[in-house]
Chain A
Amino acid sequence: MRTISRLAIENIYSTYYSGEQHLSVLENVSLHVGEGEFVSVLGPSGSGKSTILKIAAGLLNPDQGRILVNNREVTGKPRLVGYMPQYDLLFPWKTLRQNAALPLLAKKIKAKEASKKVDEMLPLFSLENFAEYYPHQLSGGMRQRAALLRTMLIDSDLMLLDEPFAALDALTRETMQDWLLKIWGQFRRSVLFVTHSIDEAIYLSDRIYVITERPGKIAIEQIIDLKRPRSKEIITTSIFSSYKQVMINALNVNARGEEDINQN
């Protein structure tokens, strides 16, 4: 385990209020992400995974518990963080280049300079020919890459990715996973990745937290000791399968919600 912790979430509780009703979403969730580490939260739909990210981003206040970034407490304060919400959330009124440049403009970098910086990054995301396109003119995979480029340009060592590939078809999804690993290998940001796909979590992560259905609790924490760089061949290896078995057991798939767990 690494010593420097980019993000630490300690004993958070969260409740969702709707009129008279209140629903416990998270119960005593603790997790941490080390420097340059790729950590996933794996769980079924409705287990409060997105809530964890929102709390980590400071967009939501937990009922209890605290958040530390670089060992400093930041609970409930919106702050600079590479947050990528579910669905790409590219703004339809901005071209790809303008969308990607937003974090730079927020940092008060001049528009011209920001465009230049975006253009330098575009080839890395295979988007160099689409800078002038509006989001609705792009394919699903391109939109996700554009959103990820925008997230990368947020000047933060921590990236919070909320099921970035959930809306993509299976083949595009696999391409995007390899591509994400390539980019991650280049920049080595600390990543907290939320997914409901077991294969995706094992393939991408250094460590996985499995979270149970509502109220979300951490069921297990599992280190994935597969060497990097990884390629799709490892999916058929026995060690990959044994990890998968551990995850399935932890998720208690047979108990309920089988369709919620996407095993690809």
Chain B
Amino acid sequence: MKKWVNIKTNLPAAGFLAFLLAIWEFLGRILEIPGYILPAPSAIALALAENFPLLLEHTRATFIAVLGGLILAIGVAFILALAMDRWKPLKQALYPVLVISQAVPIFALAPLILIWFGAGLLPKVLIVALVCFFPLAVNLVEGLSQVDQEAVDLMQTMQANRWMIMRSVQLPFAMPYFFSGLKIAATYSVLGAIIGEWLAARAGLGIYMLRAMHSFRTSDLFASIVVVVVISLALFKLVELAGWLFMPWQRNTTNHMKGWL
């Protein structure tokens, strides 16, 4: 079994990051850059610590929207991908429409969703689901259709029914595809939630950012960026953990767990 986090391989990156922060701090001080333009790392850390309880509350609101949206997107992607694999005409009708739908920028759709569903949790969840759905569905459809015909043939000589072929051949085969889609979706999801919050919401990191911006609390803006980065990384890590749990056969053949921050 591989180590969850490999300290040794991450050391150079961590060192470089510390070096950049040190330069930033140093330049900020000798050039006397005002805090509302570019706060020093120490000021950001201070803002983070001071407003931590409030920040945590907003983070919670965003995180719930992200998780809800992801789960919704996964559910819909699975149902549609399985249906498209089962009925080819459906795939021929739906797949191109899905691709076209991606040409509509989420920035254009989000206001509509807010008009229809108000400013609560639901529109945020829907926006997140909308951005996450596409990479998931496309990867799943791809994975299900790429399955080795010989393997399906073999199952047929055992007189396995369609559902068994799906369960024991196609779905496991599509799992790595699904998880690479999920990695992309997880990264998009936080972005989707924040866009939703920018437009209208009662709580969330997007709201926190807006308030900080309006009152020129630049260090608070940076603090929220730090939080966004942290939860994005945490989600990404969570997806890797899920992949590791769901695909035990991949544990020794790939190095996707190696040397990750």
Residues of A within 8 A of B (CB): 54, 57-59, 78-83, 85, 89, 91-94, 102-103, 105-107, 134, 136-137, 154
Q: Is the CB of A91 within 8 A of B247?
A: no
Smallest CB separation, B153 vs chain A (Å): 5
Give the residue of A85, A92, A134, A136 whose beta carbon is less than 8 angstroms from that of B153. A85
Residues of chain A lying within 8 A (CB to CB) of residue B249: 92-94, 134, 136
Q: Does B102 contact A (CB under 8 A)?
A: no
Q: Is the CB of B157 within 8 A of A136?
A: no
For chain B residues 210-233, which have a beta carbon within 8 Å of chain A? none
Q: Does B168 contact A (CB under 8 A)?
A: yes
Q: A79-B159, A91-B168, A106-B161 are in contact. List 13 more A-B contacts (CB 8 A).
A: A78-B156, A82-B157, A85-B153, A93-B172, A93-B175, A93-B249, A102-B155, A102-B168, A105-B168, A106-B159, A107-B158, A107-B159, A137-B252
Contact-residue size bin, chain B (C-beta under 8 Å from the other chain): 20 to 34
Q: Does B164 contact A (CB under 8 A)?
A: yes
Q: Is the CB of A89 within 8 A of B154?
A: yes
Give the residue of A82, A106, A134, A137 whose beta carbon is less than 8 angstroms from that of B155. A106
Residues of chain B lying within 8 A (CB to CB) of residue A137: 252
**Complex A-B: 23 CB contacts under 8 Å:** A54-B153, A79-B159, A80-B158, A83-B154, A85-B150, A85-B154, A89-B148, A89-B154, A91-B172, A92-B253, A93-B247, A93-B249, A94-B249, A102-B160, A102-B168, A105-B164, A105-B168, A106-B155, A106-B158, A134-B252, A136-B252, A137-B252, A154-B158
Contact with A along B158-188 (1 / 0, CB 8 A): 1111001000110011010000000000000
Q: Is the CB of A89 within 8 A of B151?
A: yes
Which of B153, B155, B172, B253 has most A Cβ within 10 Å? B153
Q: Is the CB of A102 within 8 A of B158?
A: yes
Residues of B within 8 A of A (CB): 148, 150-151, 153-161, 164, 168-169, 172-173, 175, 247-249, 252-253
Q: Is the CB of A136 within 8 A of B175?
A: no
Closest partner residue, chain A, to B246 (CB atom): A93
Residues of chain B lying within 8 A (CB to CB) of residue A91: 151, 168-169, 172
Please measure, in the bound complex, the distance between the C-alpha atom of A14 and the C-alpha atom of B156, giving whole angstroms: 21
Please measure, in the bound complex, the distance between the C-alpha atom of A134 and the C-alpha atom of B253, giving whole angstroms: 11
Closest partner residue, chain A, to B176 (CB atom): A93
Please measure, in the bound complex, the distance between the C-alpha atom of A102 and the C-alpha atom of B161, giving whole angstroms: 12
Residues of chain A lying within 8 A (CB to CB) of residue B160: 102, 105-106
Please measure, in the bound complex, the distance between the C-alpha atom of A83 and the C-alpha atom of B247, giving whole angstroms: 28
Q: Is the CB of A106 within 8 A of B150?
A: no
Please measure, in the bound complex, the distance between the C-alpha atom of A93 and the C-alpha atom of B157, giving whole angstroms: 20
Smallest CB separation, B247 vs chain A (Å): 7
| Known interface pairs A89-B150, A136-B253; A78-B157 also in contact (CB < 8 Å) | yes
Please measure, in the bound complex, the distance between the C-alpha atom of A106 and the C-alpha atom of B158, giving whole angstroms: 6
4 A-B pairs closest in CB distance? A93-B172, A106-B160, A83-B157, A106-B158
Please measure, in the bound complex, the distance between the C-alpha atom of A107 and the C-alpha atom of B157, giving whole angstroms: 11
Closest partner residue, chain B, to A93 (CB atom): B172
Residues of chain A lying within 8 A (CB to CB) of residue B161: 106
Closest partner residue, chain B, to A103 (CB atom): B158
Q: Is the CB of A81 within 8 A of B157?
A: yes
Which of B172, B248, B249 has most A Cβ within 10 Å? B249
Q: Is the CB of B164 within 8 A of A154?
A: no
Q: Is the CB of B172 within 8 A of A106?
A: no
Smallest CB separation, A108 vs chain B (Å): 9
Residues of chain B lying within 8 A (CB to CB) of residue A107: 158-159
Please measure, in the bound complex, the distance between the C-alpha atom of A254 and the C-alpha atom of B168, giving whole angstroms: 47
Smallest CB separation, A138 vs chain B (Å): 12
Please measure, in the bound complex, the distance between the C-alpha atom of A103 and the C-alpha atom of B154, giving whole angstroms: 10
Residues of chain B lying within 8 A (CB to CB) of residue A94: 168, 172, 249
Residues of chain B lying within 8 A (CB to CB) of residue A83: 153-154, 157
Residues of chain A lying within 8 A (CB to CB) of residue B169: 91
Which of B155, B159, B172 has most A Cβ within 10 Å? B159
